Amino acid sequence: MIVVVLSICPERLRGVLTRWLLEISTGVYVGHVPARVRDRLWLRIIEDVGKGRALMVHSTNNEQRLSFRVHNHSWEPVDIDGLTLMRRATADSRALARRSAQGLTPATLTRSKGGPEIFGGLDGEARADGTAQSEGARRNWSKAARRRRFRNAVERRHDQ
């Protein structure tokens, strides 16, 4: 099974893909093709997409049972402890990557000079530099991050 998502692509590429896959929505194609056809379709997509973006998800024989391929996309597959996750590059993540490439430690990354705070605690916890996190910075955490940080009573009991 494969899923192909295209954006800003030429019409001829959409026509080529409809020979092999079903277009279920604009720019979204699904189908079941052999691995050889899948690889050749991907090469054709890369050749013809131009400045557009392409993303392919296909089933494989691994722990997640799927794999990703991307081209000209802001989301990139990243292997974390054997699991492939999709990471979107943001301004903060690019700044963090530049600083970590310079060899800085997380303690020195807590506060950039005049820039946003990258690391830090929640609920006004003190950081390595002795400051507390502001209320506005806490609101920017995702729901999943808050769930991981603020576990309910049953989950806390289970962890003990």
pLDDT value at 121 more than 50: no
The confidence score (pLDDT) of residue 125 equals 45
The confidence score (pLDDT) of residue 117 equals 45
The helix (H) or strand (E) run that includes residue 127 is none
Query: Once rounded to an integer, what is the mean pLDDT over residues 17-46?
Result: 95
pLDDT value at 34 more than 70: yes
pLDDT > 90 fraction of the chain, expressed in percent and rounded: 42
CATH class name, domain 2-88: alpha beta
Tokens of 143: 């729901």
Tokens of 23: 């277009």
Please return the burial class of 70, using the count of CB atoms within 10 Å of its CB with bins 0-12, 13-18 and 19+.
Answer: middle
Q: Tens digit of pLDDT for each residue in 76-118?
A: 888 888 888 888 878 787 787 778 777 765 555 444 444 444 4
The 3-state DSSP class for residue 151 equals coil
Residue ranges per structural domain of the chain: 2-88, 91-140
